[in-house]
Structure 1
Amino acid sequence: MVIIIGIILQIIAAVATIVGGVTAIKNKKLVDFIAGVVAALATMGIGFLTVDLHEPNILRKDDYSAIVLEADKGVAIEYKIGKGENAEWKKYNKPFHLEHDSTVIARTRLGLYKSKETEKEVFVEENGLNDFGGADRPIESLKSLKAEYIYQNPKDGKAGNYYAGYEMTKSDIQVKGTDLNGKIQEVSDFTYSPGTLEKGKNDIEISYQLASGDAITTHLFIEATEPKLLRLNVKYKGGTLFAGTELSNDDLEVKGKYEDGIEKEVTGYSLPETTMKLGKNTIMIIKDGISFELELDAVAKDSITENEKEPNDDISMANDIEPNVKYSGNLKDEEDVDYYKIQLEKKGKIVLNFKHPKIDSDYGLWNISLQGTDEAEKINMNVTGEEADIISNTIRVASGTYYIRISQYSSEYSSEKYTFLVDYEEEGEYYETEPNDDLASQAMKIKANKTYVGNISDSEDADYYKFILKEKRKVCLKFTHAKLSEDDTLWQVDLLGDEEGRLTDIYSTGQTAKLHSDYVRIPAGTYYIRIAPYGSQWSDIDYRISVITNKEKGRTENEDNDDYGSATRISLGTAVKGNIQSEDDVDFYKIVLKKRTNIKITFSHEPVNSDYTFWTVRFYSEDSSGSISDNEENEATAGTYYVKIEGYGSEYWNDDYKLKVSSY
């Protein structure tokens, strides 16, 4: 086809040249006409002389039954059999079969043009097949495949490998091939893909590599289904089962036997919410309508003592333990260290209890500590030989993983058996969440008018709480605890602003079991409570803290109004309510008169059962230069005036007062 297009293009070029010559005649340019004709004839002559026809390809059919000749489209093919003088050229129309070995010679032709000749030796096998000899001989070649899916040793009438997820092997597939002689034979060196059955229809391609390098394929279609669950097998894989604990999926190993013969782990089964009762418990596990009854025995936590399991000398080898269960162990030598690991699902309160046989020695023999995952100590206590039963301070911890470390104290140790218990009590929303030892990063967020429980765990502990007011409120703190015999001050409770400025406080002794702070009026914002030991005195018993807020009606003072520049502005004839919040508190009010006015200041409060003076009220005027002075006159000119209210010396009263500046 390419050659024909080339010839056509040459003719077009020659015609174009002649047309140019005719144009030259019309323009009376005879010399140009003659030159054009000569150029056209020369172009055609050179083009025809340089036509290059491609020789044909001599091939055979895939089944070796005949010889095939191929060439460019539109070009005729000629061939002859043999090299003798009597061999005649024939026009090729269709594949031809040779009856004996010979040479096939072929060429292409286009009009008067012929290509170079090409030739190929053709051999005829005993079975009549044509090939080109050597590796092309059809010794073991196949012309077709047939595959069948089989299965070995089916059980219960089930074909065990017709199920989704099954990974096929060659033994599951039987492949037979038909060779070029029509003989059927078993085929073993085949490949197949994919190898794992999926639910639904699977198209498996079977492939066999021929000696020529080509491949023949067939397809195997397999309908696969999900195997049905036949039965369940359930085992409890946890340690000692204690009464009162919840059974979870993590405690169980659930396996299923399926109709394809496979046993595997089962998920998505139904497990009822079950709290273990003391004694025998029957648990029903259900999956796809198949059930299994699991019987478990639960014991009381205080009825047994679990033993230490060595090696546990490193935190990575710590023994797993449960809260509220006794464990025993001993230090085998002065280098021995025992680690125990406890996992707490929720925050709560912890006390460590450590016991040992009494020893006539006041030396420290054991060191016991409770650590977080960062190995920071939360409890640390040293135990002497004489201290046979010791209890740690109470601490509160967040959910997470903790470690108990038991080692010798200093150079002394004892190999006597010890027993310890992690006394743990789970707590809810309204209990302190540790760590809350830093105002900026750890303060526990609380709600107003709710009571929260916490405790100081050691002399360095400080508990911070954070609350937010969305609007101005009157606020006080309520602090309570169980009554103690000690009359020392044990707690200091402070209400703080954003920058730790103290707004009010409480100092509580062991005997003052219930206290309220002074009321303070504070604007919208973020506030903090700090509860800490008072000096070196403290207690680890629980306290209760509340932020009591009241939304007020009517006009009230705006704190901070402790100076002229921040005075609360009031109107003539309008009452305002305020209170003195501490010994150092001062309340300023500002009023602007537009004209000369006779004024009256009214100050009132609820009766107080005391004859002490608690308030001082003064009236000040401001002149045009900004200078402020006492004003004891009832008549006031237009201008700015201030009312100042404060305690009387060191005496003050926290209850509300009312102030009204009116005219008469």
Structure 2
Amino acid sequence: MMMFGACIFMFSVAGKADVHAASTVNQAKTINVNKMYKGSLANKKEILYKVILTEPGNVTLSIKRNAKTSFEGHIQNSKGYIYTFVYTKRQDDTSGFDEVQVGLPKGTYYVRINNSGGQGSKADYQFSTKYTKSQYYEKESNDKVATANAINLNATYKGVISHSDDRDYFRFVVPQNGNVTLNMKQKRDTIWRGSIQDRSNKKLAELNSNENGSLTTYMKKGTYYFVMENYDDSVDVPYEFTISDRTSSLKASQINVTNNTGKADSVKVSSLKKGDVVTVYDVKSKGNVIAKTTAKGTSVSFKVSQLGKKTGKVYVTVMKSPLRESDRVAQTFKGETSPSVKTSQVKVTNHKGKADTVVISSLAKGDVVKIYKAKSKGSMLVKGTAKGKKLTLSIKQLGKKSGKVYVTVTKSGQQESGRVAVSYKKEK
């Protein structure tokens, strides 16, 4: 995004910073990102601010419009190198802002605001430098092979073409011989051109975003470059791209896991295409394959003898030939239903003149016991967690007459059991 000679007061010779630019950076006022600032300029004057980025990310320079004048704003380094610039529209509606984005590495930068033309003796300006920390945004300047941003496969990156001749270079490594897919964001009435090339600028693949959103090409192990450039109306429009040697991962919403009690468990994966290979693993990396199959339609279902009695996770991948297997996506499943208590485990005493008690025995430490007053729905009377094999719960008043309470137990990592009715006698 290199801009030489973009502003007369900045460059007298292309590639050489003007003395004025270098001398004024020491006087620049330091400002914070994501904060609005206001000021006033005399006609044809300018002001410089310093911005420090502690991490790389995306910076948006936003300047409010003024009905009496136009402002020029740009982001530069201490030597006067301009990364991007913006001009405000001069119009009666001054509620809007004009803005431009640029990706930058961590460092110190300067925002210069200039009154580029107007009627009044003073021009009131208002601006902000909005910042989003990100390792996945282009870092200017990256206009040639030598300054290409290093990127990872299978991650989405963003950037901006700042002018019609701008080219953004990215460097990536293909770890083994195989197919690689380039995906580019598509936007109506905007066309980016993306190409994959080697170090000698030989093009291996090229994609215009209006024609298709992706292309797949075979590549040998090695280092390559992706170049993004303007084709039609893409200047200052943020782009997105991904270079992958893997199939795109499933979404968790595509995976449904049922952990049954007393019968085989099931895993269903939907929104597939015929030929997709789906694999279910027991852990996030390495581990064992629980099940694997090739889709004959838009979904696949697996029967698994036992996922486990407690709440857990499975990890699912998909492979769309000729790409490699996707990353594993976790999906949580609920634990099995806890076994119900036996009536012989529960003793209910309906006291007269003091609180009633429910004693539950033959428990395990951590079991959660709940006492309800109805077979279904209804309110819970009391609950408690066992610290040993026995738990005693106190209820202020069950009633003077005989009746029933309904008891459940929830074991660690499992779901609540069904309610079991336990009778109690009337007060004595």
Q: TM-score, normalised by structure 2?
A: 0.47
Look at both structures and tell me which one has the larger radius of gyration over its CA atoms.
Answer: 1
Structure with more of its chain in helix, by fraction: 1
Bigger relative CO (Cα 8 Å, ≥ 6 apart)? 2
Query: Which protein is richer in strand relative to its size?
Result: 2
TM-score, length of structure 1 as denominator length: 0.31
